[in-house]
Structure 1
């Protein structure tokens, strides 16, 4: 009998991979070749000798689709480990955003007030604009960006999700 929970869910999947040319292209190609969407993707070297990288991918799908994605990722030769952080247990997710807002008068004052409430830092300012730096969950960043739209949002640059398991356990 099929699983009763076939709802589409958001999943943060962490990969430990060999740091070699073409690995990211192979991982991204796996997603695009099968029609899976990548909502966020981050990658960086994580070992002192520069031979291992960590890739964090945020995607959505039914439990069956996510299991297929994980199984296919595990079969890629440069992939050492695949962990679905969303089902593994408690984990933290953070993202960095740079948000440019232009405006004057009350809109400028309101943008500064909201930035303070969201703990966003002003990292650049002119007489006509601000650039805010904000870290937090993707939901927090979405909420800040939505509020800035009404106040003169010009541009947004986001890093994508970085995620890690809570506690002493190593990925």
Structure 2
């Protein structure tokens, strides 16, 4: 299809574009879209050349923010995202001194929860849910926590937020 568009581009000085598009069974909008894409590629190549010159002048240390600032300083108004895209496509990258840091690092001093040590987490039956979300249950002595570790409705897993089992609180006289 590019050959057809190139032919129309070459012959548009001698024949009307609409007539050639009709004879070659090509949409006129497609031809003009192809021409715009070719112009965009030429502009991208020119910008890539400028970026490469600035990058080499900085001893290959500048990244996107500084290259963009240099282009703005030279009165070349171009979007930062376009500079980023062209640099990524052509494998032009700056130097960074800081290492990438993970946002989720395991705590070095983390200890397991004391009430989970020694508990058996094997399933008693197939497809039985062992662990689920923690649910907060309003209680007259405060907020109680109910986890589904031992089974639904098991009083061993219901505790007040201060850590006391809810079963002990039930036996205390209410005041």
Q: TM-score, normalised by structure 1?
A: 0.18
Greater relative CO, 1 or 2 (CA 8 Å, sep 6+)? 1
Q: TM-score, normalised by structure 2?
A: 0.18
